[in-house]
Structure 1
Amino acid sequence: MRRHSFERDGVVFSFLDAGGDGKPLLALHGHWMGASDFTEVADDLSPEWRVIALDQRGFGETDHGAAHHMAAYVGDAVALLAHLAIAAPVPVLGHSFGGIVAYHLAAAHPERVSAMIIEDIGVNIQDDSTPFVTHWSGTFRLRETLEDRLGPRLAPYLQRSIRRTKDGWTLNFDPAEFLLSEQATNGDHWNVWLQSRCPALVLSGSESRVCDRAELQAMAERRDGTEFARLEAGHSIHIDARPEFVERLRQFLDKQHP
């Protein structure tokens, strides 16, 4: 995947594009993560699919400090597709935070979304990670010190969110800004989820500590044209069980885009 950039309303966005002649698929990452987390998935789906992954505002190599609200996240995704001159509707893969943006995008811009893959995120979001992430702030002389702060459970998933600066090691997002994004995505999203009409696949990680399986199953049961699948994985299914994730993704996409 090659890295590119574009500007929207004074904010410079970074994104990865697999390129090629494959059908485009938009990928939206979860909180604490970035576009680079989809690199291996993009390789697996090539050449049939051209994965385009956005560093959402405040994360990765995209500008930090911009306003955080749902309309902005949705507008950023639309702006990326417009920047690439992609006019036809595309499937959207959203992990966690990215999944919330994906179903809001499908509801607000049905002409942009041909199908949704929602990876381990529900529609009744009430999170407060303040006690958990505040001690991640700052720059650390040793990478190992920052990894110790993240803890043994999360550090393996945030390897691509750690970057080197002249003063040491830090995260490529500000924990305080992440909390603003978390607040912006909290709420009851049931009505938005039920507004869209495109086919959808809801994926649940069997060992996820983030989502309730019953809620994810209810999302599929209450919405027409929606499938549900449970894979042996934690919250980041595309990392924990990538081969099974990609196979399930291909099965779904092949039905929608033969």
Structure 2
Amino acid sequence: MTAMHHLTTPDGIRLAYADTGGTGRPLLALHGAFGRGRPFLSLADRLGPDWRIVAPDQRGHGRSDRAADYGREAFLADTATLVERLDLAPCVLVGHSLGGLNAFQLAARRPDLVRAFVVVDMAAELPPHDSDWLDGLPETYGSLDALRTEIEARVSLGEPLHFLEGAVETDQGWRLRWHPDDMREVKRQVFGEHWADWYASDQPALVLRGGASPIVPDDIARRMLDRPNTRLATIDDGTHDFYLTHRTRFHDAVAEFLTTL
């Protein structure tokens, strides 16, 4: 198992990250809201030693610290810190949902750090949707099955395993590493139009969307293709978290894009 490492950001947040190591070209994998970096390590099985996979738990997630700030600039500063401290630049970014937004915004604002990027089921424009399912979420559960049942009953968009990656057993029972209040703020900061950042860079990019997901509808996908050096691929029956449910096709799409660089 790949060991977890830690670094501390300039604003004092301790970030956890996994690193497959080696001398391959660097790929930084950024998970979505509620997720963790760990599932993206499986990219190493497909890409082999030619690529070094670094997968952090972003602030407020997994083994990284909670924070007072979940704004756009805070997430981008964290990502830049990871790239610079680990000497990854210029690297490929693969970002799911929240991570996809972080990827293309960093490409726009710090092009020196980003060689290319893959945006996984994230649009340059995301209308608000409610987080009511987080209301009254218990802090602890008697078993992992009980936690899974609770998530399955509440979540309408997404694969339960995506949320359960943040589960941990404590002396008081099973709990989620992320806090509902933090996730509400993370999501609030993601909503809106980000077209200025989308069009502000020209590195090679892949928009990889789920055909059964509402996040990147056809009209938005066509607008995103107006950006230079941008490709579009669709996992036809994939929902928002197809990186888990359609792992082989996800890996193949990323690998194919990387051969074009």
CA contact (8 A) 1:27 1:38 kept: yes
Give the corresponding residue for 1:69.
71
Can you give the 5+ residue segments of structure 1 that lack an aligned partner in the other structure?
Answer: none
- Structure 1 stretch displaced more, 102-111 or 153-162: 153-162
Q: Deviations over 1:143-199 (max 9, x none)?
A: 222211101664233332211111001111001100011111111101110001101
User: Structure 2 counterpart of 1:249, which letter?
Assistant: V
Q: Deviations over 1:71-121 (max 9, x none)?
A: 1101101111122123x3111001001001111100110011111100011
Determine the C-alpha separation between the residues in 2 that align with 1:214 and 1:91: 26
- Aligned residues of 1:12 and 1:63 also touching (Cα < 8 A): yes
* Number of the residue aligned with 1:172: 177
Check 1:200–1:156 CA distance in 2 against 1; reply closer, same or farther (3 A cut).
same
Map 1:164-243 onto structure 2 (within 5 A).
164-220=169-225, 222-232=226-236, 233-243=238-248
Runs of 4+ in structure 1 over 3 Å off: none
Q: TM-score, normalised by structure 1?
A: 0.93
1:18 aligned residue (14, 17, 20): 20
Are 2:167 and 1:155 aligned? no
What is the match of residue 244 of structure 1? 249
Q: Which SS does the other structure have where 1:203 is aligned? A: strand
Please give the TM-score of this superposition, normalised by the length of structure 2.
0.92
Looking at structure 1, the residues matched to 77 and 120 of structure 2 have their Cα atoms a distance apart, in angstroms, of: 21
Q: After TM superposition, give the deviation of residue 139 of structure 1 in Å.
A: 1.1
Identity %, equivalent residues = 30
Residue 182 of structure 2 aligns with an amino acid whose one-letter code is: E
Q: Match for 2:67: what amino acid? A: G
What does residue 105 of structure 2 align with? 104
SS in 1 for 2:244: helix
Instruction: Summarize the Cα distance change of 1:137–1:43 in structure 2 as closer, same or farther, 3 Å threshold.
Output: farther
Q: In 1, are the aligned partners of 2:124 and 2:193 still within 8 Å (CA)?
A: yes
Amino acid in the other structure paired with 1:127? P
Task: Find the residue that maps to 2:49 and give its secondary structure.
Answer: coil
Offset at residue 25 of structure 1 (A): 0.4
1:32 touches 1:161 (CA, 8 Å); kept in 2? Answer: yes
The residue type paired with residue 36 of structure 2 is: G
Q: Which moved more, 1:152-161 or 1:24-33?
A: 152-161
CA distance in 2, matches of 1:156, 1:58: 18
For 1:148, the aligned partner's letter is T
Alignment match of 1:49 (pick from 48, 51, 63): 51
> Is contact 1:123–1:189 with CA below 8 Å preserved after alignment?
yes
Deviates more, 1:5-14 or 1:120-129: 120-129
Task: Give distance in 2, aligned partners of 1:44 and 1:66.
Answer: 37
Q: 1-side partners of 2:123 and 2:143: how far apart?
A: 36
Aligned match of 2:40:
38
> Match for residue 125 of structure 2?
124
- CA drift of 1:214 comes to 2.9
- 1-side partners of 2:193 and 2:15: how far apart? 28
CA distance in 2, matches of 1:111, 1:183: 28
Residue 95 (str. 1) matches residue 96 (str. 2)? yes
Please give the root-mean-square deviation of Cα atoms over the aligned residues, in Å: 1.5
| Distance in 2 separating the partners of 1:130 and 1:231 | 26
Tell me, in whole angstroms, the C-alpha distance in 2 between the residues paired with 1:187 and 1:211.
Answer: 13
Residue 47 of structure 1 aligns to a residue whose secondary structure is: helix
* Per-residue CA distance 1:46-86 (angstroms, 9 max, x = gap): 21111111111100100013311111101101111122123
Give the AA of the match of 1:85: D
